[in-house]
Amino acid sequence: MSTEFAAPATPADPDARDGGRRTEILAAFLLGLAAVATAWSAYWSAIYGGNAIQGYAQSNTLTSQAADVYGDATGQYNFDRTLFLQYAELRITGQEEAADVLRESFFSDSLAETVDWYDTTGDEVTDPFDADAGSPYSLAEWAQGNALSEEADAAYQEAVAADDKGDRFDLATVFLALSLFFGGIATVFRRYLPQVATLAIGGAGLLIGGGAVLWAHLG
């Protein structure tokens, strides 16, 4: 009868255990930071993205309103020109009374002022509505349309700036997501060198992503 004795198990290398433990702690630390930074970046990306959409919509609305106002101004301008031609024809043909009735009944204050100015210019001015010649003719709709156009342009520029910031946060989120990926797979490897390599890549992604977040905030 023979008795067999099992060989005693070789104790694990304490240094290897300590190295693996440190790697796990580093991976957990990296994942935690990357997760917080990713959530922060995604939050601000959504905020600025929403602001950009709202700004573009506001700009489009203001542009449409300006176009409507300019359209009304164009209609009034053409109407006033037609009135002036009729008025001038009546005066040329000696129908002064009819010309006065037309003026009192249909002329706006701006058109009346323009006609009075035109009567003082003699032959120097051929078009009473020529602003370059000093015509006082103006329409409130023109000023209103200009104001709306300026507001639309300001809203558009703000939307572009918000969109640009949102893109920067999106870029930061990409690098932070890479950091999460490499930090996560680092714990899968059992060999020390692959763990360190993937943690290093993940750390680089965290640094670049964190820098991109700062750049987005400060830019």
Give the confidence band of 26 by pLDDT, cuts at 50, 70, 90: confident
Q: List, in sequence order, the alpha helices (H) in 120-191.
A: 140-186
> How far is the CA of 54 from the CAs of 145, 162, 202, in angstroms?
21, 10, 36
Residue 22: what pLDDT?
Answer: 80
Q: List, in sequence order, the alpha helices (H) in the chain.
A: 14-92, 96-106, 109-119, 140-186, 192-218
Residue 19: what pLDDT?
Answer: 57
Distance between start and end Cα atoms, the chain? 84
Instruction: Find, among 68, 41, 57, 56, the residue nearest to 165 by Cα.
Output: 41
Name the token pair of 192. Answer: 């020390």
Which of 57-61, 147-151, 183-187 shows the lowest mean pLDDT across its residues?
183-187
Give the confidence band of 17 by pLDDT, cuts at 50, 70, 90: low
Residue 137 has φ and ψ, to the nearest 5°, of -60, 130
In angstroms, rounded to a whole number, what is the distance separating the alpha carbons of residues 113 and 104? 12
The average pLDDT across 49-61 equals 96
Q: What is the pLDDT of residues 129-182, one digit of tens each?
A: 999 889 999 999 999 999 999 999 999 999 999 999 999 999 999 999 999 998
- Are residues 129 and 111 in contact, defined by beta-carbon separation less than 8 angstroms? no
pTM: 0.73
Residue 174: what pLDDT?
Answer: 93
pLDDT, mean over the chain:
88
* Burial class (CB within 10 angstroms; exposed 0-12, middle 13-18, buried 19+) of 124: exposed
Which residues are within 8 A (CB) of 15 and not within 5 positions of it... i.e. 6 or more apart? none
Query: Per residue in 71-87, is it b (16+ CB within 10 Å) or e — as a string?
Result: eebeebbeebeebbeeb
Which of 90-99, 163-172, 188-197 shows the lowest mean pLDDT across its residues?
188-197
Q: What is the pLDDT of residues 97-134, one digit of tens each?
A: 999 999 999 999 999 999 999 988 877 888 999 998 89
Which of 67-76, 177-186, 198-207 has the highest average model confidence (pLDDT)?
Answer: 67-76
